[in-house]
Chains A and B, each alone.
Chain A
Amino acid sequence: MSGGLRAALAAGRFALTAELGPPRGADTEDFLHRARLLSGWVDAVNITDNQGARVRMSSLGGAVIAGRAGLSPVMQLTCRDRNRMALQSDLLAAGALGVPQVLLLTGDHPRFGDHPESRPVFDVDAVQAIGIARAMRDDGVLLSGEPLSANPGWLIGAVENPFAPPAGFRARRLAKKVAAGAEFVQTQYVFDVEPLRRWMAELVDLGVPPRCAVLPGVGPIRSLRMLEFLRTGVPGISVPPAVEKRLRGVLPGRVAEEGIRLCVETLQQLPDIPGVSGAHVMAFGFERGVPEILDRAGLGPVPCEPDRPVVVSGR
């Protein structure tokens, strides 16, 4: 088992994470199969939380199963499905079960999911949720001020979309999350490195990178259908025209390969950008392709580190 994100960052290594969606069902066979494909190639896997507002096994369940399979899970928690009480109780459970990383995010609105008729919660926002988690871990208190019997020990993560407007506020908004307590951040898909560079320069200016590890998100576009879906079906993703042109410019049978090549090229540019600590690979349903992508980019597999208990730090 790898030592997770904490060990990778502590070692100053280029950290690698990947996304892994829990099953829509009560079985684990396919999930474990996909988990095994990533095992050894990344430092941690993000267990998504009803991603795209579509119901799946809870991220806590997925994180525990992934942990048993030898992966270091990042348990995602959205503010869409939980009020401040549910957030805190899930965070405590994650602490008790030894989940080494938690990541707090606002979450997609149910309007796009499989239960558009549902009532979203949005009791607190991601910045507040991160602050709540930090207070639980470092100060040992709930939002109410009540003390915890033992503090959880997870690393706290956040997400950011560097490419969404208002452009002048995106870096500052991440700085708010870091001020609230985020220690690592994974970004929305990066298809164009130049705007990422500019955003990173702003972050360096704000003093974010030494306090918070930045892991830009990458992923292969494997078909023109997926390109259309990313362009129109997923909020907050912008596919630059140059990428679109390149994918449409090849023979239909070569789109998948071209998409992978694009992803590899992006990955190769990341280590040289000041402030970037790693990369986050999003390849939904294409976990088998992740080792190849990382290999071609000259990254991974991650070194094996001795198992480290990451459970509770009692007080």
Chain B
Amino acid sequence: METERFSWPRPFRPRIPGSGGYRSNRLLRRNAVWARLGALLERTPWGYRLFTATERVTKEQLFGCRMCGQCALPTTGYTCPMTCPKELRNGPCGGVSPTGMCEVHPSLRCVWVQAYERAEANGHTGDLDLLHHPADHREWGRSAWVNHWQGHETPPADPGPLLHRQLGVTPR
């Protein structure tokens, strides 16, 4: 139905199972070594470009990454939420078809349906409860890995205390 010219984000089916993603997370999580590398990369423009290009190619191939620069993969079952046509970072919209297909691209599976299945298969459903902040659009094209190691991202908030907080019995 859609031609390739149609350029809204398209739900992407990750090319590796979620377990592979979670393993890579252990490797790439922030530590002293990565923080040093991040600082070094930020000081050397050519190094940063080369590194970012590598990240782009790898993540594009595996997850359909669009380089938003603030990676949600570790909290979304290693399914990229920015490939959702509405770029929803907090869960699926209400338009998902009963068979789990995307509202905008009915031939493709909703990324959040995939995210849920992948998170569940790896015992990570709790991650999906995290509250993601609005994206910082200045970070597009920048390396999400370096941003992570350097602490340039706002980590999603734990809704636990929020959910259990007395929001005030309705109505306020």
* A111-B104, A127-B131, A163-B98 given; A173·B92 CB < 8 A: yes
Interface 9-mer from A31-39, A203-211, A297-305: A203-211
- B117 contacts A by Cβ under 8 Å: yes
The B84-126 residues at the A interface (CB cut-off 8 A) are 85-100, 103-104, 110, 112-113, 116-117, 120, 125
Q: In the complex the two chains form, what is the Cα distance from A80 to B8 in whole Å?
A: 13
Across-interface contacts of A207 in B (CB, < 8 A) = 163-164
Q: In the complex the two chains form, what is the Cα distance from A173 to B115 in whole Å?
A: 13
Q: What's the nearest-Cβ distance from chain B to residue A91, in Å? A: 15
Contact with A along B115-156 (1 / 0, CB 8 A): 011001000010011011111010000000000000000000
B167–A183 contact, CB under 8 A?
yes
Additional A-B contact list (20), CB under 8 Å, known A166-B116, A236-B103, A277-B170: A106-B93, A108-B95, A111-B8, A122-B86, A125-B87, A128-B90, A128-B134, A131-B131, A165-B99, A166-B96, A169-B112, A169-B128, A173-B91, A176-B131, A179-B162, A179-B163, A183-B168, A183-B172, A210-B169, A235-B95
Q: In the complex the two chains form, what is the Cα distance from A106 to B93 in whole Å?
A: 7
The closest CB in chain A to the CB of B95 belongs to A235
A179–B86 contact, CB under 8 A?
no
Q: In the complex the two chains form, what is the Cα distance from A285 to B168 in whole Å?
A: 36
Q: At the interface, is chain A mostly helix, strand, loop or mixed?
A: mixed
A161–B112 contact, CB under 8 A?
no
The closest CB in chain A to the CB of B126 belongs to A172
Across-interface contacts of A184 in B (CB, < 8 A) = 170
Q: Which residues of B contact A (CB under 8 A)?
A: 8, 85-100, 103-104, 110, 112-113, 116-117, 120, 125, 128-129, 131-135, 137, 159, 162-165, 167-172
Across-interface contacts of B99 in A (CB, < 8 A) = 165
A168–B86 contact, CB under 8 A?
no
Of A127, A178, A213, most B-chain CB atoms within 10 Å: A127
* Set A80, A172, A181: member contacting B129, Cβ < 8 A: A172
* Set A6, A109, A122, A172: member contacting B95, Cβ < 8 A: A109
A206–B163 contact, CB under 8 A?
yes
A125–B90 contact, CB under 8 A?
yes
A5–B171 contact, CB under 8 A?
yes
CB within 8 Å: A-B pair count? 147
The closest CB in chain A to the CB of B96 belongs to A164
Q: In the complex the two chains form, what is the Cα distance from A210 to B171 in whole Å?
A: 10
Q: In the complex the two chains form, what is the Cα distance from A128 to B133 in whole Å?
A: 6
Across-interface contacts of A206 in B (CB, < 8 A) = 163
B162–A180 contact, CB under 8 A?
yes
Of B129, B132, B134, B172, most A-chain CB atoms within 10 Å: B134
* Set B98, B168, B169, B172: member contacting A165, Cβ < 8 A: B98
* A165-B96, A165-B110, A212-B170 given; A122·B87 CB < 8 A: yes
Q: In the complex the two chains form, what is the Cα distance from A124 to B137 in whole Å?
A: 11
- A175 contacts B by Cβ under 8 Å: yes
- A159 contacts B by Cβ under 8 Å: yes
A109–B85 contact, CB under 8 A?
yes
Across-interface contacts of B96 in A (CB, < 8 A) = 161, 164-166, 235-236
- A51 contacts B by Cβ under 8 Å: no
Q: In the complex the two chains form, what is the Cα distance from A181 to B170 in whole Å?
A: 11
Q: What's the nearest-Cβ distance from chain B to residue A106, in Å? A: 5
A109–B131 contact, CB under 8 A?
no
Q: In the complex the two chains form, what is the Cα distance from A216 to B88 in whole Å?
A: 24
- A120 contacts B by Cβ under 8 Å: yes
A155–B131 contact, CB under 8 A?
no
B112–A166 contact, CB under 8 A?
yes
Q: In the complex the two chains form, what is the Cα distance from A6 to B8 in whole Å?
A: 40
9 contacts between A and B (CB under 8 A): A79-B86, A164-B97, A166-B100, A176-B129, A211-B169, A211-B170, A235-B94, A235-B96, A236-B96
The A1-20 residues at the B interface (CB cut-off 8 A) are 5-6, 9-10
Q: What's the nearest-Cβ distance from chain A to residue B89, in Å? A: 6
Across-interface contacts of B125 in A (CB, < 8 A) = 168-169
A175–B98 contact, CB under 8 A?
no
- A84 contacts B by Cβ under 8 Å: yes
- A48 contacts B by Cβ under 8 Å: no
Q: In the complex the two chains form, what is the Cα distance from A176 to B163 in whole Å?
A: 8
* Set A161, A176, A238: member contacting B159, Cβ < 8 A: A176
Across-interface contacts of B129 in A (CB, < 8 A) = 172, 175-176
* Set B86, B100, B171: member contacting A125, Cβ < 8 A: B86
